Structure 1
Amino acid sequence: MTDSTASGGTRPFRFGVVAPLRTDLPTWRDQVRRIADNGYSTLLMPDVPQWQPAPAPTLAIAATLTDLRVGSWVYASPLRQPWSTAWEAHSLSVLTEGRFELGIGTGRPGIEDELRDLGLPVVPPGERLAQVRETVTALRGLDGAALRTPVVMAVRGPKAQALAADLADTVAFALMPGDDRVESTRVVRDFRTLATRDIELAQHVAVIGDTVAPFMASPDTDPAALRAMDSLAVLPDDPAAAAEEIQRRREELGISYFVFGAGSADALAPVVAELAGQ
């Protein structure tokens, strides 16, 4: 049996799609319904102010269209007050009848410039991690005994990994542009050594073939360079080859939850049909 959690056991595959509203509303609604029909488990929204509608109301609408789970991918902790984020997450859990997942992290590269542009304080990484803990603690208090909103944490360094090992239900590993398979494997295995609970392991795959997903990677990302270094940030666009690689990553690393961009969702639908729930 393969080991597909941080602490042992095999989890079935599931697949999510980052699908911000970038078109007219009817076209986006059709896209959401198609994602659900293709067997994906989760519809996700990025947290990029002013580039698309705010995540919370957009996710609330998406949840009325299908039975998909919905989630943030991921809230940047310095962009809002912890209690406000917790209240928003709890409210989405209530309104979706338990189908919301709170994705949260300390912010993507370049978040400092974004904070300055928004007139918000630029806080150091340690304080951002403290904001994540405060948010999750407040969320657990709001949820009470009757509800538990799943928490997905995006992590990289040892301090973030330690916090996720304590708080998260799912952990997604942030990949840097220069990370090859060896380095990414080290990061994942370090976390698996650290964690003592059953935690789902996830991966944000920003590049499918030569397609770079908006909101998931820098526009200057070079797919050929990623393939040359054997990066885990890229998957083949051939469904059979993608399915083989996804199964390899679960077997070798324990990753069972994969998140793609909406532009590749149709191309990878055969992979989802083959592997989801297996």
Structure 2
Amino acid sequence: MTDHPFRFGAVAGQAPDADAWTGLARRVESLGYSTLLVPDTLQTLSPFTAAAVAATATTTLRVGTFVLSAPNRTPRAVAWETVTLHKLTGGRFELGLGAGRPDAERDAAALGVRFGTPGQRIERLSETIDQTLDAAKDVRILVAAAGTKLLRLAARKADTVALGVPPQTTEEQVAAKLDELYELAGDRFHDLELGMNLACAGAEPPEWALSRFGRTGTGILVGTPQEMADTLLRRRDHLGISYVSVNAQFLDAFAPVVERLAGT
């Protein structure tokens, strides 16, 4: 059980031009989503730049990275970018960090930086958080975590913990991860905002999405708006998950759920 209110994010990283990107940002805001979140890959828009442009086109929408691959940048560079965006957005920027998804090593090679071992990447993530908070103490930090070492780091230093699990992960498996986080976080646990990402959502998700992501699991939410809302309410009651992000391709299909639950 948690007393954190629901909030919702839309994850997007592609647009043909500035008009399309700013139009998307305004639509995300108008539909009641809290955040527009930009992934960190060389096949998508540069996350800091895209977040800045989205912020200039909106007034209340928060913007963030989901999630920045900490090994691909120096901690000081991330802190510099973050404090700049934090100031220029009026505090609307949220820094989402991870230790690098499986294909982030290829991006690191293309950028000419050393990816490092798992232990080195976690250490880089920890240092990035420390330097960022030294530069902007009140910036909100999200850490994507699944394994024990990352969960331990997130338990100590994050404001939001996003469970980095595949869409097919069952609620029982999610509960086991959160039990582990509870043990690691101790007294901090109830202060943590818990988040999960939906790969697809809606009454009738397209076949390509179901084929790609699967038909069952916590990352696939299918049903009427009320059925989806009821599922999320139950998950918040049983698991404590209150921050839900969704692939922006399902922005409109999921909007009725946002209308029902955002801020409650």
TM-score (norm 1): 0.87
Q: Percent identity?
A: 38
Match of 2:222 in 1: 236
Which of these residues, 60, 73, 76, is aligned with residue 66 of structure 2?
A: 73
Match of 1:32 in 2: 25
1:154 aligns with 2:144: yes
Question: Match of 1:12, SS?
Answer: coil
1:276 aligns with 2:262: yes
Match of 1:189 in 2: 179
Listed one character per residue, the Cα deviations across residues 133-180 of structure 1 (whole Å, up to 9, x for unaligned) are 11111111112xxx5101000001111111111100000001136632
Gaps in structure 2 of 5+ consecutive residues: none
Q: Aligned equivalents of 1:43 and 1:92: distance in 2? A: 14
263 and 170 in structure 1: CA distance in 2 versus 1, 3 angstrom threshold: same
Q: Aligned equivalents of 1:19 and 1:103: distance in 2? A: 14
1:176 aligns with 2:204: no
1:92/1:100 contact within 8 Å kept: yes
Listed one character per residue, the Cα deviations across residues 245-264 of structure 1 (whole Å, up to 9, x for unaligned) are 11111011000000001111
Listed one character per residue, the Cα deviations across residues 72-130 of structure 1 (whole Å, up to 9, x for unaligned) are 00100111111101111111101111111000000112323333344332301111111
1:58 aligns with 2:44: no
Gaps in structure 1 of 5+ consecutive residues: 5-9
Which of these residues, 11, 33, 51, is aligned with residue 18 of structure 1?
A: 11
Count of residue pairs brought into register by the alignment = 258
1:256 partner letter: S
Q: Aligned equivalents of 1:101 and 1:212: distance in 2? A: 33
Match of 2:90 in 1: 97
1:206/1:212 contact within 8 Å kept: no
13 and 115 in structure 1: CA distance in 2 versus 1, 3 angstrom threshold: same
Q: Aligned equivalents of 1:142 and 1:119: distance in 2? A: 26
1:152/1:172 contact within 8 Å kept: yes
Consecutive aligned runs of 4 or more in structure 1 exceeding 6 Å deviation: none
Deviation of residue 61 (structure 1)? 1.1
1:12 partner letter: P
Cα RMSD for the two superposed structures: 2.0
Listed one character per residue, the Cα deviations across residues 186-209 of structure 1 (whole Å, up to 9, x for unaligned) are 012211232121111011111225
Moved more, 172-181 or 86-95: 172-181
TM-score (norm 2): 0.91
Moved more, 130-139 or 25-34: 25-34
Question: Match of 2:16, SS?
Answer: coil
Deviation of residue 43 (structure 1)? 0.9
Deviation of residue 183 (structure 1)? 1.4
1:101/1:151 contact within 8 Å kept: yes
1:212/1:223 contact within 8 Å kept: no
Match of 1:7 in 2: none
